[in-house]
Structure 1
Amino acid sequence: MSIFKKGRIAIGVVAVGAVVALAGCASGDPTAPETASGGDSGDAIVVGSFAFPESEILGEIYAQALEAQGFDVSTKFNIGPRQQTIPALQDGSINLIPEYNGNLLAYYDTEYTERTTEDVDGALGDAVAKDDLVVYKSAEAEDKDAYVVTKEFADANGLKAIGDLTKVEPFSLGANPQFGELGYGIPGLKSVYKVNDVTFVPIEDFGGPDTVKALTDDTVQVADIYTTSPDIKSKDLVVLDDPENLISAQNVIPLLSSKIASDELEKALDAVSAKLTTDDLIDLRERVEGEEKASANTAAKDWLEKAGLL
Structure 2
Amino acid sequence: MAFSILKAAGAFALMALSATTTLAQTDPLGAAPAARTDKTTIIVGSADFPESQLLATIYAKALAAKGIKTDTKLNIGSREVYMPALLDGSIDLLPEYAGATLSYLDKNATAHSPEDVAKALKAALPAGVSMLTPSQAQDSDGVAVTRATAEKYKLKTIADLAPVASQLVLGGPPEWKTRKEGIIGLKELYGLEFKSFKSLDVGGPLTLSALVNDQVQAANLFSTDPAIADNKLVILEDVKNLFPAQNIVPVIAKAKVSDVVTKTLDAVSAALTTDDLIVMNGRLANHDSFDVVADEWLAKHKLN
Q: 1:266 aligns with which of 258, 262, 271?
A: 262
How far does residue 235 in structure 1 lie from its aligned partner after superposition?
1.7
Change (3 A) 1:222 1:106: closer
Equivalent residue, structure 2, for 1:202: 197
How far does residue 260 in structure 1 lie from its aligned partner after superposition?
3.1
Larger displacement relative to structure 2 (292-301 or 102-111)? 102-111
Q: 1:293 aligns with which of 260, 282, 287?
A: 287
Which digits, 9 at most, give the CA deviation of each residue in 1:143-162, with x for residues without a partner?
44311123455578875543
How far does residue 180 in structure 1 lie from its aligned partner after superposition?
7.3
Q: 2:251 aligns with which of 243, 250, 255?
A: 255
Q: 1:305 aligns with which of 296, 299, 304?
A: 299
Equivalent residue, structure 2, for 1:240: 236
Using the size of structure 2 for normalisation, the TM-score is 0.71
Change (3 A) 1:191 1:229: same
Change (3 A) 1:187 1:205: closer
Q: Distance in 2 between matches of 1:67 and 1:301?
A: 12
Superposed, 1:108-123 pairs within 5 Å as 108-123=105-120
Which digits, 9 at most, give the CA deviation of each residue in 1:176-215, with x for residues without a partner?
477578654566556645x76x753422214444543443
Question: 3-state SS of the aligned residue for 1:250?
Answer: coil
Equivalent residue, structure 2, for 1:100: 97
- State the AA in 2 paired with 1:245: N
Q: Distance in 1 between matches of 2:52 and 2:187?
A: 33
Determine if contact 1:101/1:249 at 8 Å carries over to the other structure. Answer: yes
How far does residue 80 in structure 1 lie from its aligned partner after superposition?
4.6
How far does residue 254 in structure 1 lie from its aligned partner after superposition?
0.3
How far does residue 279 in structure 1 lie from its aligned partner after superposition?
4.0
Percent identity, please: 39
Change (3 A) 1:308 1:200: farther
Change (3 A) 1:265 1:180: closer
Larger displacement relative to structure 2 (116-125 or 256-265)? 256-265
Q: Distance in 1 between matches of 2:187 and 2:30?
A: 48
Superposed, 1:153-168 pairs within 5 Å as 154=150, 160-163=156-159, 165=161
Question: 3-state SS of the aligned residue for 1:49?
Answer: strand
Equivalent residue, structure 1, for 2:71: 75
1:172 aligns with 2:184: no
Determine if contact 2:94/2:250 at 8 Å carries over to the other structure. Answer: yes
Which digits, 9 at most, give the CA deviation of each residue in 1:88-107, with x for residues without a partner?
54565543221222332234
Q: Which runs of 5+ in 1 are unaligned?
A: 1-8, 11-20
Which digits, 9 at most, give the CA deviation of each residue in 1:203-262, with x for residues without a partner?
221444454344334565433223344422332323223243112333321011222324
How far does residue 84 in structure 1 lie from its aligned partner after superposition?
5.6
Q: Distance in 2 between matches of 1:189 and 1:116?
A: 19
Q: Distance in 1 between matches of 2:184 and 2:123?
A: 30
Determine if contact 1:171/1:220 at 8 Å carries over to the other structure. Answer: no
Determine if contact 2:166/2:195 at 8 Å carries over to the other structure. Answer: no
Equivalent residue, structure 2, for 1:57: 54
Q: Distance in 2 between matches of 1:53 and 1:211?
A: 14
Q: 2:221 aligns with which of 212, 218, 225?
A: 225
